[in-house]
Structure 1
């Protein structure tokens, strides 16, 4: 086995061990875990109920039907869910950098960004992920092709969430306290991914597929799951890869100018 293979194997083993520790820590308080995950599941179901009431009055809105909106929530919540469970620190990068907590990760011989992202598990994210799977089982195409496309949609959705928030959080390297900006980006991005892209027009729609790539998540129920569009699929894969790589490069550039916060601490 070459040196690169050993290094890659070591990183994979480290990440898997981190996930196991995160899960063990979350399951230490099982009642709290199930309550938090369950509350997020119920919260998402309430939103779907409102959409049900809306589409019972207006069955088709700009080509969107209730089943499409259900799949939109499945893709958005499911993608956000797995990203939050496996890489739960992605919304907190700005806070970690500006508060000096990054020192703890710099002292460890592991890839810093991967270490930061994987060191936390969001309990509520488990509820989002389970919600997404159940909604797909309810309203989605359960054929092998349909399941593979849904898995691809979840992967792209989660990578977009991580990439966008890594870029937003990395602003803290240059701006100092960028928690407010990152929080606004996070809230706006999540909100834009749960509304059908058909309701947006003009400059707003262009922005959704460029500056804020929420449009790629919002259009997946149509362009990927209902009527597969190879051009859209190619663009969505490119956007996820672009924002993912962009986040990594921006974090690395910021890390080169990072000054220690003189924080003394240990990872929980």
Structure 2
């Protein structure tokens, strides 16, 4: 069992490595994508600054607290784009019959899909997200110790797991929607943008939706609450690794169910 897991991880790493080397053959594209990612996410930070320049705090959350939440989203997106961008190719893979080739290989199809593409703009997200996170943690009212730092690292990794699982889950709509475009997944991704801000500013329905239905809030708000606040939000934040495992399991389960009804593209 352990040997099989090690083999699977090694093959996944080699597949990603091959796509990274292929992408780096076009250096100009790499730098443009990375810079574009920094600029796009940077505009969001400027938007936050403009808001808090007029309003000192929102529901008890101050500027650097929200920057911490924002940084977690950027890091989660960066890791998911860099290591599992292939989820966004699922619509094309399914509807053009390209999944046939993946089914012939002795490697789990879901992992082949996830590793089929590398988004180099993820590096830009990781650079900016890391910079924002490092800056924010030095300005929030938290006493840092080795245990809290270890918790923070675990929560960042778990937040990325939530994002990857939800990306896979929403893109599995390709097995039911006959279109080479991931419109449903993109709409859910846009809905997940609400997680860039403290969810206490939203109505009850939205909070339930991004906590229990599609738990995008576990990418940002709840991990931040686990470090910054007390009470129910903190307790939920500590469950982020469990939610990440659930999202990954749910995405893989729906993928297997969709795979069972896959009929190739036909002629």
TM exceeds 0.5? Answer: yes
The equivalent position to 1:69 in structure 2, one of 66, 69, 87, is 66
| Distance (Å, rounded) in 2 between the aligned partners of 1:256 and 1:212 | 24
The SS at the match of 2:256 is helix
1:244 aligns with 2:241: no
Kindly state the Cα deviation for residue 197 of structure 1 after the two structures are TM-superposed. 0.9
TM-score scaled to structure 1, two decimals?
A: 0.88
The equivalent position to 1:160 in structure 2, one of 162, 174, 177, is 162
The SS at the match of 1:210 is helix
TM-score scaled to structure 2, two decimals?
A: 0.88
1:185 aligns with 2:182: no
Kindly state the Cα deviation for residue 228 of structure 1 after the two structures are TM-superposed. 6.1
| Distance (Å, rounded) in 2 between the aligned partners of 1:143 and 1:88 | 34
| Distance (Å, rounded) in 2 between the aligned partners of 1:30 and 1:170 | 32
What's 2:175 paired with? 173
Kindly state the Cα deviation for residue 117 of structure 1 after the two structures are TM-superposed. 0.0
Kindly state the Cα deviation for residue 86 of structure 1 after the two structures are TM-superposed. 0.9
The equivalent position to 1:148 in structure 2, one of 147, 150, 155, is 150
Deviations 1:116-159 (A, max 9, x none): 10121001111111111111111115753443233223222211
Deviations 1:198-237 (A, max 9, x none): 2112222112211121222241354123236652134323
The SS at the match of 1:151 is helix
| Distance (Å, rounded) in 1 between the aligned partners of 2:6 and 2:51 | 50
| Distance (Å, rounded) in 1 between the aligned partners of 2:87 and 2:39 | 24
Does the CA-based 8 Å contact 1:68-1:221 persist in structure 2? no
What's 2:264 paired with? 260
The SS at the match of 1:159 is helix
Q: Which moved more, 1:135-144 or 1:196-205?
A: 135-144
Deviations 1:60-107 (A, max 9, x none): 110111111111111001011011101111233233222322122112
What's 1:107 paired with? 104
Specify every segment of 5 or more residues in structure 1 that has no aligned partner in the other structure, as ranges.
Answer: 264-268
Q: How does 1:48-63 map to 2 (within 5 A)?
A: 48-63=45-60
The equivalent position to 1:206 in structure 2, one of 205, 208, 223, is 208
| Distance (Å, rounded) in 1 between the aligned partners of 2:113 and 2:224 | 34
How well do the aligned residues superpose, as a CA RMSD in angstroms?
2.1
Kindly state the Cα deviation for residue 262 of structure 1 after the two structures are TM-superposed. 5.3
Work out the number of aligned pairs and report it. Answer: 259
| Distance (Å, rounded) in 1 between the aligned partners of 2:5 and 2:31 | 34
The SS at the match of 1:259 is coil
| Distance (Å, rounded) in 2 between the aligned partners of 1:18 and 1:228 | 42
Specify every segment of 5 or more residues in structure 2 that has no aligned partner in the other structure, as ranges.
Answer: 139-143
The SS at the match of 1:87 is helix
| Distance (Å, rounded) in 1 between the aligned partners of 2:148 and 2:127 | 18
Shift in CA distance, 101/147, structure 1 to aligned 2, threshold 3 Å: farther
Q: Which moved more, 1:12-21 or 1:86-95?
A: 86-95
Kindly state the Cα deviation for residue 41 of structure 1 after the two structures are TM-superposed. 0.7
